[in-house]
Amino acid sequence: MSEPNPVDETAPESAQAAPAEGAAPAGMVRTTLRSLLRSGPATAGLVLVAVHVLVAVLAPLLTSYAPTANAPDSALLGPSAAHWAGTDALGRDVLARVLYGGRYALMVSFAATACAVALGTVVGCAAALKGGWLDDLVMRVLDAVLAIPPILALLVVVTVLGAGPAVIVLAVTVVYAPQVVRVVRAAAMGVAPLDYVTAARARGERTLSILVREVLPNIADVVSVEFAMRASWVVLLISSLSFLGFGANPPTPDWGLMIAENRTAMTVVPWASLAPIIALATLVLGLNLSADGLAKAWGVDRVKEAR
């Protein structure tokens, strides 16, 4: 993790880094990409995520079947030329449902993660910058929220408000935002005492403008890694909810729901449950690997930040 003697590392490093560094932000994107592509697992992760996104976007072009069209006469078929992954008990094409299922999983997860990370970032930065009683209050409230098991909290929200994408997004935001707050607050605390923030304070700038101008650009890496990491958990969580019957409603093509629907017919048409399982596993794996790759490329130490 940390070098035994950071002193002799940093001092001359900064002196030498100055001339060697490439140009501005574009250079940073390039170095990040280069570092990601150099690492095998990170590349694999990125490719997996990209494939999932592509497939979800192009689903109507990849299959001619509608994901919700019942066909009782061709129920429970094994893989064949017509139905590559077979059909389920209602005669729906499994492959089509898996392909369309990615749309639902990606969209809801993305929206939920974005909300959780955005809320967490704003609250975390505010707590770090303002400090004092606000910080104390926020942290104690978060401790209380964190003490509730996420799946339980989700179930309560869903049972009270009913299932549906909007509710799920809200529920996931409530459950995950506190954890994001902790990570972002820690990162922002590292930036808040630096002189450029002090200079802005001495100018009497508003907290919001200090946050946007001085703090956020310098914790963007932490926030991005947090986003990628959370996304993989959110995908899993949402699928679990669907599996338990609290997420997507039946005709919707959703991986968790498909596994739940088809597991009783596991011995007859194994592919009807295997296909969504593989899709889910590869997406989560891809997100995880990309998050790790990003963290490494930017030198974000999640263990340290979460402390």
Partner 1 sequence: MSTGQAPHTGAESEAGAGAQARTPGTGARQGDEGLYLREVPARVKDLSVAYRSNGRDITVAENVSFEVAAGRTLAVVGESGSGKSTVAGALLGHLRHGSRITSGSVEVAGRDVFSLGGRDLRALRAHDIAMVGQNAGNALTPSMRVGTQLEEALMARVPARAERRAEARALLEKVGLPGPDRIGRRYPHQLSGGQQQRVAIAMALAARPRVLVLDEPTTALDVVTQARILDLVADLSAELGLATVLVSHDLGVVARMADEVVVMREGAVVEAAPAAELFAAPRHPYTRRLLASVPRVSDAGLAEVGEDGTRTVRDRAPVPEDAPEVVSLEDVVVRYGRSRAVDGVSLGLRRGEVLALVGESGSGKSTLAWSLAGLRAPASGRMRLHGEQEGDLAAGARKRPLALRRRIQLAFQNADTSLNPRRIAREAVRRPLRFFGLASRSDADARARGLIEDVALDPALSDRLPQQLSGGQRQRVGIARALAGGPDVVVADEVTTALDVSVQASVLALLDDLRTERDLAFVFISHDLAVVRGIADRVAVMKDGRVVEEGPVGAVFAGPNHPYTRRLMEAVLEPDTAGGAGSDAAGGAAGAAPDASEGPDGAATQGTAEGEWIDLGGGHRIRRGGE
Rounded to 5°, the CA angle 4-6-9 comes to 115
Q: Does 198 bind partner 1 (CB under 8 A)?
A: yes
3-class SS of residue 87: strand
Nearest distance from C-beta of residue 77 to partner 1, angstroms = 57
Q: Tell me the Cα Rg of the chain.
A: 23
Q: Does 8 bind partner 1 (CB under 8 A)?
A: yes
Residue 216 backbone phi and psi in degrees, to 5:
-55, -45
Q: Which residues pair with 87 in a beta bridge?
A: 93
255 and 238 Cβ atoms separated by less than 8 Å: no
Stretch in the footprint of partner 1 (CB under 8 A) among 6-14, 63-71, 235-243, 289-297: 6-14
Among 1, 24, 26, 160, binds partner 1 (CB under 8 A): 24
Among 130, 201, 296, 302, binds partner 1 (CB under 8 A): 201
Give the span between the Cα atoms of 167 and 163, in whole angstroms.
Answer: 6
- The token pair at 284 is 């989560």
User: Looking at beta carbons only, is 111 or 200 nearer to partner 1?
Assistant: 200
User: Looking at beta carbons only, is 160 or 203 nearer to partner 1?
Assistant: 203
Stretch in the footprint of partner 1 (CB under 8 A) among 18-26, 126-134, 169-177, 232-240: 18-26
Of the candidates 262, 216, 213, the one whose C-alpha atom is nearest the C-alpha of residue 86 is 262
Nearest distance from C-beta of residue 280 to partner 1, angstroms = 37
Among 5, 64, 72, 132, binds partner 1 (CB under 8 A): 5
Count interface residues toward partner 1 (CB under 8 A).
Answer: 34
Q: Does 26 bind partner 1 (CB under 8 A)?
A: no
Among 14, 61, 72, 132, binds partner 1 (CB under 8 A): 14
Which run of H or of E encompasses 284?
helix 270-298
Q: Does 213 bind partner 1 (CB under 8 A)?
A: yes
Nearest distance from C-beta of residue 301 to partner 1, angstroms = 16
Nearest distance from C-beta of residue 128 to partner 1, angstroms = 16
Q: Does 203 bind partner 1 (CB under 8 A)?
A: yes
User: Looking at beta carbons only, is 73 or 195 nearer to partner 1?
Assistant: 195
Q: Does 18 bind partner 1 (CB under 8 A)?
A: yes
Of the candidates 256, 219, 228, the one whose C-alpha atom is nearest the C-alpha of residue 105 is 256
Residue 47 backbone phi and psi in degrees, to 5:
-60, -45
How far from 78 is each of 87, 195, 265, 272, CA to CA, in Å? 7, 66, 12, 9
Q: According to CB under 8 A, which residues from 219 to 238 bind partner 1?
A: 220
Half-sphere exposure for 297 (CA within 13 Å, toward CB): 25
3-class SS of residue 296: helix
The site for partner 1 (CB under 8 A) is made up of: 5-9, 11-21, 24-25, 194-196, 198-205, 213-214, 217-218, 220
